[in-house]
């Protein structure tokens, strides 16, 4: 039962929402999302290149419960925009969620990523900072239509 509740909470979040999210162990089939870094020509001067694969961990908190999972974030970048996959990996379940509307900004020398993790029926708003090969961030699925879900994550570029 805890496993079922954990899976439901996991899927209910960070755009990682309940209703009909598919799970599989197959690689992403999202068009335009690859694991290789974007060509240097795709990133103009002054915009950091954040494309690539980041491996790490994620913690989800909702309704007094906490779930820890492995995380793989794959990003593809064109200019200051990016898309990708936010892939939460539990022991026997892999949930891949599209990253949409990503924007790379630099504020006071810090590289900051703003993006949406797409879920069904709710999306998560996410923000992350990138320093060298390290990415740290948080995301929130709003309480509208269900409990609020909070994520914190940390990953290192492969």
Contacts of 89 (CB under 8 A, 6+ apart): 69, 70, 71, 72, 95
Percent of the chain with pLDDT over 90: 64
pLDDT value, residue 43: 74
Token pair 């496993």 in the structure block, residue: 3
Token pair 């630099």 in the structure block, residue: 106
Token pair 């079922």 in the structure block, residue: 4
CATH architecture of 2-20+32-157: Beta Barrel (2.40)
Percent of the chain with pLDDT over 70: 73
Q: How far apart are CA 44 and CA 60, in angstroms?
A: 35
57-94 pLDDT, tens per residue?
A: 999 999 999 999 999 999 999 999 999 999 999 888 88
Token pair 């954040």 in the structure block, residue: 50
Give mean pLDDT, residues 98-125.
95
pLDDT value, residue 121: 84
pLDDT value, residue 42: 59
* CB count in 10 Å sphere of residue 56: 16
Residue of 93 and 140 predicted with greater confidence: 140
25-53 pLDDT, tens per residue?
A: 344 444 444 444 444 445 778 899 999 99
* CB count in 10 Å sphere of residue 52: 20
Mean pLDDT score across all residues of the chain: 80
Helix (H) or strand (E) holding 4: helix 2-11
């Amino acid at each position: 039962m805890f496993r079922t509740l954990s899976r439901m909470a996991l899927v209910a979040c960070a755009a990682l929402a309940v209703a009909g999210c598919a799970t599989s162990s197959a690689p992403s089939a999202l068009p335009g999302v690859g694991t290789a870094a974007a060509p240097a020509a795709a990133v103009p001067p002054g915009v950091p290149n954040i494309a690539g694969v980041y491996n790490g961990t994620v913690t989800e908190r909702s309704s007094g419960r906490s779930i820890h999972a492995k995380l793989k974030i794959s990003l593809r970048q064109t200019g200051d925009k990016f898309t990708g996959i936010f892939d939460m990996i539990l022991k026997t379940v892999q949930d891949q969620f599209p990253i949409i509307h990503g924007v790379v900004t630099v504020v006071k020398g810090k590289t900051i990523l703003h993006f949406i993790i797409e879920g069904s029926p709710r999306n998560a708003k996410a923000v992350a900072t990138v320093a060298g090969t390290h990415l740290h961030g948080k995301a929130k699925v709003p309480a509208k239509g269900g409990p609020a879900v909070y994520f914190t994550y940390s990953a290192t570029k492969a």
